[in-house]
Structure 1
Amino acid sequence: MPLTHGTLIHRYPHHSKLGRHQVLDARSLEWVHEHTGAALKPTSHTPRVPVLDQEDLFAQGIRVSQVVPGAEDVDALGSCTGNGGTAAVSLLLDDADAKAAGLDLADAKAAEEWAIGLYADATGVDDADGRFPPSDTGSSGLAIAKVLKRRGLVGHYRHATTAAAVASLLQTGGVLYGTPWFKAWFEPDRYGFVDGGNWSSSPVVGGHEICLIGLEQVVQDHAGRIEPESTIVRFRNSWSRSWGDDGDGLMTLATYQLLRRYVDAIQLRK
């Protein structure tokens, strides 16, 4: 990690599908998860909220002004951090916890509205410029984790800074994952992979937050070292079930390794 003190901020251009900035605090390095070398297994963690959609808000019956006072009604919002955070925290909450937090686990519209509120709060605590409302300027995964902790929904959170650590965290739960988003990734292949073909030659179009929800395949060598090019992660996106594999996408951990300095991977914990 290049960060040794203070705060690192990498801002991305705003896009209706993409609203993530990379914000890292040096104090977070005190909470880095390390893989011990234990054998890793395929895992699956299904968010307890439906697949969310940060676009087509009008069709969903969502009026942003009714969710966040002072906001304008728009049909799409760069709230991927809030959406990813909602999917991630839903993995931790039982029915009573979710009800107390005002999160309806069964209703996609209500969960999307909750995600928008989470996004709005996050824009007020991170170090990226601007706050929503009035401006849809984006937020960060770190800000989402801070807001959820302040709300008492998580006790702490851990960061992963290696491919092995990401795979290790996925043994126990989902991972909130912020990444640069490439133009080619808007259209996954027929299997759901965003990083097939010559994706790295396409331009970066913004920053995006997703939730890693499982290891489809994990390969380790005879010494227990993970083989990133053969290890596949599944992630939950927030562009409706019509995107990818019923709302999910796939990528290899080799892609994580290539982009590691621009990625933040955070596991929320009770």
Structure 2
Amino acid sequence: MPTTHGVLVRRYDPHPALGRHQVLDARSLAYRQRHRSEVLRPVHWQPAIPVLNQQDLAAQGIVTSAVVPGAPDADALASCTGNAAATALSVLRPGIVPDDAADAERWAIRLYADATAADEFLPYQWPPADSGSSGLGVARALKARGLITSYTHVFDADSLAAALQSGPVLLGLPWFAAWFTPAASGHIDDVPYWRTSGLAGGHEVCALGIEDIAQDTSGRVIPERTVLRLRSSWGPGWGSGGDCFLRLSTYVALRRQIDAIQLHA
């Protein structure tokens, strides 16, 4: 986890279903979201595209070498950052990402390639090295394409809940092995012994809203009683229609390994 010139990089082993690394740049502190004790409510942002799937690409009719010149053919990619960002962008700017599932996945794969090029703090680029990227890298790629005007960063639970009032948030998480199979409730943190199940890697998801929320008399969010809805990129058959749920208290417990970025159209 090297820190150089105000930049922290936490790298995870890439996995066919996972490919997020944590990159924190101290300059981001100047572009942070804040919570001002306003009343917060449950909210759900609906993507304009189907649930994406970074796996089983051949079954979707996707040939990666035809999508990105120079890419080797693969049946799965560590492209979760591209998928999460495509989902968020479809909320902000419907029509930019194709609404056909396979075409939307192709669009996300191209964005992933751009993100690996924009990740100046990570040493590999795809193609050819399918080694993942970061939330910061994919936000920079969208900004360079002119698809967003800006992006801001979230550093605490109250600000995350407040940011979700105005739109989705890219959430980079350390992903535990037990989380691949959510509990019957749809919660990944309802799975017994998830903390000791082992770290599988890093995963980028799109936080689509707040299912339940509670605040104290000062306006601070009560993490144990606040639940986030997250969209993964493993198809609609995973979790609850492709989504899962996470208590804000789990975010608090893992916050040092999490980064959160909100895109602005």
Give the TM-score, by structure 1 length. 0.94
Give the Cα–Cα distance (whole angstroms) in 2 for the partners of residues 51 and 162 of structure 1. 27
Q: How many residues align?
A: 261
Shift of 1:199: 1.4
What residue in structure 2 maps to residue 55 of structure 1? 55
What residue in structure 1 maps to residue 30 of structure 2? 30
* Structural RMSD (CA): 1.1
Amino acid at match of 2:44: S
How do 1:95-114 and structure 2 match up within 5 A?
95=95, 98=96, 103-104=97-98, 106-114=99-107
Give the Cα–Cα distance (whole angstroms) in 2 for the partners of residues 213 and 80 of structure 1. 15
Amino acid at match of 2:244: G
Q: Which runs of 5+ in 2 are unaligned?
A: none
What residue in structure 1 maps to residue 112 of structure 2? 119
How do 1:57-206 and structure 2 match up within 5 A?
57-95=57-95, 98=96, 103-104=97-98, 106-126=99-119, 127-196=121-190, 197-206=192-201
1:20 matches 2:14: no
Runs of 4+ in 1 over 3 A off after TM superposition: none
Report Cα offsets for 1:75-102 as digits up to 9, x if no partner: 111100000010011111133xx1xxxx
Shift of 1:136: 0.3
SS of equivalent to 1:119: helix
Report Cα offsets for 1:41-92 as digits up to 9, x if no partner: 0000011111000000000000000001111111111100000010011111
SS of equivalent to 2:60: coil
**Contact 1:129 1:137 (C-alpha < 8 Å) held by counterparts:** no
Give the Cα–Cα distance (whole angstroms) in 1 for the partners of residues 112 and 94 of structure 2. 22
Shift of 1:150: 0.8
- State the identity %: 51
Shift of 1:4: 9.9
Amino acid at match of 1:206: G
**Contact 1:45 1:173 (C-alpha < 8 Å) held by counterparts:** yes
Range with greater deviation from structure 2 (129-138 or 195-204): 195-204
Amino acid at match of 2:72: E
**Contact 1:4 1:26 (C-alpha < 8 Å) held by counterparts:** no
**Contact 1:192 1:245 (C-alpha < 8 Å) held by counterparts:** yes
SS of equivalent to 2:185: coil
Amino acid at match of 1:160: V
Amino acid at match of 1:21: H
Give the Cα–Cα distance (whole angstroms) in 1 for the partners of residues 199 and 257 of structure 2. 12
Give the TM-score, by structure 2 length. 0.96
SS of equivalent to 1:59: helix
Shift of 1:5: 4.9
**Contact 1:214 1:233 (C-alpha < 8 Å) held by counterparts:** yes
Amino acid at match of 1:114: W
Give the Cα–Cα distance (whole angstroms) in 2 for the partners of residues 148 and 60 of structure 1. 25
What residue in structure 2 maps to residue 265 of structure 1? 260
Range with greater deviation from structure 2 (249-258 or 122-131): 122-131
